Amino acid sequence: MTGQREAPVLAVDIGGTKIMTAIVPADGRVLAKDVSPTLAGEGVPSVVDRLCRAAEKLVKSNNLKFTQLAGIGIACAGAINTGRGMVTVSPNLPGWVDIPLAQMVRERLKVDTFLVNDASAAALGEHRYGAGKGVKHLVLLTLGTGIGGGIIADGRLYLGASGAAGEIGHMTIDVNGPECPGGHTGCLEVLASGTAIVREAVRRLKNGEESSLTEMVGGKAGGITAETVEKAARNGDGLAREVLARAAYYLGVGLANVVNIFNPEMVILGGGMAGMDDLLIDPARRLVAERAFPVSAGAVKIATARLGNEAGVYGAAAFVREAGKGRKP
Ligand SMILES: [Zn+2]
C-alpha cells in the first residue's frame, strides 16, 4: 500500500544568503535540488515568491505534481514558532517579524506545509541520515557566523512548548560579556562564533597589537574572516592562535553545559568552523572532559556533521514525515 508517507517531500532551507529547494523521496536521498539567492532585502513577499517559483520549477522538472507530494517542509534560520508555522524573528532575514510563512506557502502551492528552525532541521537530518544515525540522544551545534542548535531526545526532535527549543547559541556564558544582536549579553554566539572570532581579532589589532593578519588583508581590518584567522594561526601567528584559543575556551564551556544538561550520547558539530579540529574543536573537547560531570563527559562522543549544507533539507523532509504528523495547524 502506498500511502501519503511514501510520497516525496519538497524540502526547503532558507538562509540569509541562499534558498535551497530539494525533492526528497521516502528513502531520504536528495533526488534533485536547486539553489537560488534569498535577497532578503527585497522583502518578504518577494522572497516567498522566489521560493515558490523555485519549488514549481523543481517539481515540474522532476515530472511531479504538487498533489503527489507528502508535504512541504521549510527549515528557516531564526526563532520559529513551529506549531503556528511562524517566523517570529530572524537575525538573518531583516524585517521578518511574525511572518506566517507556512500559511503563505500553503495558500500559494496548495500543499500541507510545515516550518522548523534550520538547526533543529539539521539535527533531525543528521540523526536520520548522517553522523547521528542510530543514536538515541544527541545535540547538534552549527558553528558559523552564528551558533545554532538542535536537540534529539529519545530519538525524537525536541521542540519545547512553542517549537523554539535548542537556542544553544544564546546560552549565557558570561553575564557581563559583549552584547548579542538578540539583545542579550555574553551569549555563546557572541563569544565563540565566526563573527566573535573576527570581532576579537579586529579589536586587538585596533589596540595596536602586531599580527600577520594585518598584512594578509592588506591593512584593511574589514577584510578579516574566521578563515583568515585560521590561516594565520596555522602559520604560527600568536594573536590568531590566542583568538582561536579564546573561542575554543568559550565553546568548551558551552559544550560542557550542554553535556551536563542533556547527557547526550553524541554532540554533532556542523557549519563552517566544525573543520577547525586542532585549533578549535580539540581544545573544546578537552574542556568538556575537565568541566562536565565525569559520568556525562565519559558518555559523549563529540563528532563532526556529515551532511554538509544539505542537512537542513534532509531534516525538513524528515520533519514533514515524522514530527509534522498530528501537528497540522
Ligand atoms: Zn543572544
- Which domain covers residue 314, as residue numbers? 4-125+310-321
> What is the CA(190)–ligand 1 centre distance, in A?
7
Same domain flag for 260 and 139: yes
84-97 pLDDT, tens per residue?
Answer: 999 998 878 888 99
What band does 17 get if pLDDT is binned at 50, 70 and 90?
A: confident
Question: Region 298-316: what's the mean pLDDT?
Answer: 96
> What is the CA(156)–ligand 1 centre distance, in A?
26
Same domain flag for 287 and 150: yes
What band does 31 get if pLDDT is binned at 50, 70 and 90?
A: confident
Q: How many domains does the chain have?
A: 2
Same domain flag for 206 and 286: yes
Confirm whether 15 is domain-assigned.
Answer: yes
Q: What is the pLDDT of residue 5?
A: 53
> What is the CA(159)–ligand 1 centre distance, in A?
18
Confirm whether 235 is domain-assigned.
Answer: yes
> What is the CA(172)–ligand 1 centre distance, in A?
8
Same domain flag for 103 and 236: no
> What is the CA(181)–ligand 1 centre distance, in A?
6
User: Which CATH number is 181's domain given?
Assistant: 3.30.420.40
198-220 pLDDT, tens per residue?
Answer: 999 999 999 999 999 999 999 99
> What is the CA(170)–ligand 1 centre distance, in A?
4
Confirm whether 326 is domain-assigned.
Answer: no
Confirm whether 328 is domain-assigned.
Answer: no
CA-based nearest residue to 265, from 139, 122, 168: 139
Same domain flag for 143 and 103: no
Same domain flag for 151 and 109: no
Q: What is the pLDDT of residue 106?
A: 97
253-262 pLDDT, tens per residue?
Answer: 999 999 999 9
Contact between 27 and 70 under an 8 Å Cβ cutoff? The reply is no
Question: Region 102-111: what's the mean pLDDT?
Answer: 97
> What is the CA(323)–ligand 1 centre distance, in A?
27
What is 164-185 written as a DSSP string? ----GGGSBS-TTS-B-TTS-B
Confirm whether 50 is domain-assigned.
Answer: yes
Same domain flag for 155 and 120: no
* Mean pLDDT, the chain, whole residue set: 93
Same domain flag for 190 and 91: no
And the C-alpha cell for 305? 556533521
Q: How far is Cα of residue 91 from the mean position of the Cα atoms in its chain?
A: 13
The burial of 197, by beta-carbon neighbours within 10 Å (0-12 exposed, 13-18 middle, 19 or more buried), is given as: buried
Count of residues for the chain? 329
How far CA 41 is from CA of 55, 60, 97, 289, in Å, comes to 21, 28, 14, 44
Contact between 288 and 300 under an 8 Å Cβ cutoff? The reply is yes
